Homo-oligomer: A and B are copies of this chain.
């Protein structure tokens, strides 16, 4: 039986299967695999899915409270003024947008994300739930079959992805690490306590070196397998190959304008000194060519 039916024979597929064969004799606790999400497990162009969700939240809020549209961060988004967005900065706008959900309980927030993803259509024209890369889902399943603990280490909001990670990838919320919102504890009924989201981000955005320190802090183990697609994943991939035993770093190269997009993985929020594909070759990571290595990209 072919364990990776959407993968074409080639260097990437062989590297994965060779790695799994080499890892089979390791103690179970060392079999740990972490994936980036945006651009690695699902499509991130032309917009991040979470961005679309937040813009939708903004439109709903502005309908109730029109004066919000005057805030510079929100005006730039609503009028889709690229220069204004770039001059304010995507990161600052994303924090402002996430602040629109301040006051919600975590359960209310999960409900909103699920309601939205159930029907939302991405700017690429696909349903949001159909943005997932089929070959990556096969790879996650295979890793799990081989006794790996599979986690996701995303630059996006942890709670956003957790709302759908089990459904999309079979990854439970406690194995998702992302950018963290601050919570405040309030008194509930009958002597209980209730958490409410704040407008504050805790610590650094989960990109670059923070992906490594946050994954260690929250998941407690170094991976021997990591997959990413951008300069913001470089440290995570460098960490996966740091041990004396088998280690595999996979970089997805978006080189498929026919079926998806063609772009290099320079993270927009980072000043990367080289395209991450060059880093990959320099450090001996395995590159996945979407155009050549994948027989099918989306699940359909």
Contacts and interface: CB of A to CB of B under 8 A. Distances in A.
B220 A174 contact: yes
Contacts of A239: 192-193, 195
Given A29-B166, A183-B213, A238 B174 contact: no
Interface string A187-210: 011111111000000110000010
A87 interface: no
Contact of A220 (B162, B191, B194, B216): B162
Nearest to A159: B220
Given A191-B238, A242-B192, A221 B183 contact: no
A278 to B, nearest CB: 12
Contact of A216 (B106, B235, B238): B106
A214 to B, nearest CB: 9
Interface residues of A, number: 47
Contacts of A203: 202
A147 interface: no
A134 interface: no
B174 A241 contact: no
Contacts of A172: 149
A220 B185 contact: no
Contacts of A209: 185, 193
Contacts of A218: 174, 218
22 contacts: A106-B220, A151-B174, A159-B220, A162-B220, A174-B174, A174-B219, A174-B221, A180-B217, A183-B212, A183-B213, A183-B216, A184-B213, A185-B212, A185-B235, A188-B242, A190-B283, A191-B282, A191-B284, A192-B238, A193-B209, A193-B242, A195-B213
Interface in A162-184: 162, 166, 172-176, 180, 182-184
A107 interface: yes
Given A166-B29, A172-B149, A174-B151, A195 B212 contact: yes
